[in-house]
Homo-oligomer: A and B are copies of this chain.
Amino acid sequence: MPTARPRREDYSESTRQALVDSAVALFTKQGYAATSLDAIARRARVTKGALYHHFSGKQAVFEAAFGAVERAVLAKLGQVVAGPGTPWDRAVSGLQAYVQVCLEPSYQRIAIHEGPVVMGWERWREAEEHFSFGLVKGAVEALVEAGEIDDLPVEVTARILFGALQTGAAIIAGADDPRKAGTDVSRTIIRVLEGMRVAGHDGGAPTGNAQPAQPAASLLRKLRG
């Protein structure tokens, strides 16, 4: 019996959203293993029964939280990389925006650190394809297409760059002086990018902007829920 006002009067969707919000908050603060379903439900002012009505289990709750965090990030970054300028400019500004996003504790913990462990690496990778990694990959593809960087294998280059970005974000998040760490990381990664630039190339002609991959797949629907 919920002591406060019964949630029943609200809509089901609101309850589900409250559960997701609760999960994001608790997973971010305590991590997946240390967060109980009872705690998640209690914070949303419902019981475990309600939780199991909306989700098939703890992992499903995590994936919903993961999806919520990723969609928020995607909304923030989508504008930046789709903005004006050359592919190179957009890549650099997107990079800086991403580093900024990575300071969000929820993204750090849920999407980057615990995501692969809880969801399994393969599934996590598949999901990431449609979210932040999709943006990075699109940016790299645009750079190659524009002849800005050497024609390395796109997939591998994008993944490695993605890994470097995540590590950079982790550095910033754990640093004593996040501001200084932020500039250090940005400088270093941009230096890496410049190192991969084709010799004598310093700003090519703009090309059509590359959209991230098609959404498709039932996984997407689950994460979108």
B170 touches A167 (CB 8 A): no
Whether A168 and B174, one on each chain, are in contact in the complex, defined by CB atoms closer than 8 angstroms, is no
- In the complex, which residues of chain B have a beta carbon less than 8 angstroms from the beta carbon of A224? none
Residue A122 is within 8 A (CB to CB) of chain B in the complex: yes
A155-192 CB contacts (< 8 Å) to partner B: 156-157, 159-164, 166-168, 170-171, 174, 181, 184-185, 187-189, 191-192
The oligomer's copy count stands at 2
Task: Choose among B121, B122, B152 the residue that contacts A188 (Cβ–Cβ < 8 A).
Answer: B152
Task: Give the size range of A's interface with the partner.
Answer: 35 or more
Known: A164-B164, A166-B163, A196-B195. Is A156-B174 also a contact (CB below 8 A)? Answer: no
Whether a CB of chain B sits under 8 angstroms from the CB of A222 is: no
B113–A184 CB distance below 8 A: no
Q: In the complex, which residue of chain B has the Cβ closest to the Cβ of A163?
A: B167
A160 to chain B minimum Cβ distance, whole angstroms, is 5
Of the candidates B113, B156, B167, the one whose C-beta lies within 8 Å of that of A160 is B167
Docked CA distance A22–B171 (Å): 33
A192 and B196 in contact, given A122-B174, A162-B167 (Cβ under 8 angstroms)? yes
